[in-house]
Structure 1
Amino acid sequence: MISILIVDDHAVVRAGLLALLDGEPGFTVAGECGDGDTAVRLAQRLRPDVVLMDVRLGAGPGGDGIDTTRRILTAVPGTGIVVLTSYGSQDAVMRAIEAGARGYVLKAGEPEELFRAVRTVAAGGMTLAPGAAERLISRVSDPEPLLSDRETQVVRLLARGHNNRDIAAALFLSEATIKTHLVRIYRKLGTGNRVSTVAEATRRGLIEPG
């Protein structure tokens, strides 16, 4: 029997996962919680085979899912952690793996993908959702980021609907510098306006969906 700890800051999501996993042969949900600090304590007490970890975890105590993954593996080395998330950006995939997660599953995927990931990780293996695997391969084969850190910051602010003046103020830069960044971003992404730039950056996994 594979014992599982569910960590997600949305009670409805936890309830859905509990019902889904408890109905699958060979699985038992040992516990569930909604924040990082509680997750670490439960992992130490329950010693689950697999932790299903929401990558964000909202604003609860103990940090996001990546930080909590690191803390659990420090406290209980060898725990199998499957990161469960609604998006699959390159950054999120890489951060999860670097933190020690051995599985990465998208919430929009089929239940069988989740079941397979739990079984694989419980057996000591590693698994990634197809979309996440593609992003990881892309990152490894082309480790140089398409956009610089500053350019990524600009695109994230674009995605939030900020104009050039707001972006300049947020980043402590001049509007002329922001315009220069936008020209370079458009060229790199092959786009010609703000809307298509945000859409293309999201499609490529350079920023998270809003």
Structure 2
Amino acid sequence: MNRKKLQNLAESLCRTAKHFNKIEVECLIKLFHTLVVEPSDRHAIIGLDRNMFRNILHVTFGMTDDMIMDRVFRAFDTDNDSCVSVTEWVEGLSIFLRGTLEEKMKYCFEVYDLNGDGYISREEMFHMLKNSLLKQPSEEDPDEGIKDLVEITLKKMDYDHDGKLSYTDFEKAVRDENLLLEAFGPCLPDIKSSMAFEMQAFRETGDM
């Protein structure tokens, strides 16, 4: 990508990825192009497919939960073409790394709403908690413990008592207690890995 093209793209992305400055956006675009394998077909979309993206989440951000990694991929892939484009990469990272509480709540809710119906149901909570909790070999029936956990969570977060979480419920609960933001599994980077990623991605900013 030539310098002019890079600058134009960075300029337009600065407007949508509000948490990065232009130099940071340029670094992320360059990083994207080092991660992407150029498609053999000239007309193929240039982007990160599910496996490449999951590999980044796993290696860089220490994520291990398959279901959550898939959902994070879908949250980044806003046009659902099974590929994260450079625009989706920069805009997604803007929220993933530096989003406001508001943006992170919307993002986490979207990750947890497995079927995209606007609610996190009992079944969805059960699936995610079962997936993210470590299996205790001593427990007779771990599913029972998870069901109890789902009920406790609903009691705490389901403000309108309809047996599922709407975005309003989720937002209210998280505003009361920020720790509930990732109640159903880690889908945001921890401070250590996001700082390490930023240092590596933006180290060139010091050289410019």
- Normalising by structure 1, report the TM-score: 0.29
Pick 1 or 2: higher relative contact order, CA cutoff 8 A, min separation 6. 2
Greater helix content: 2
Greater strand content: 1
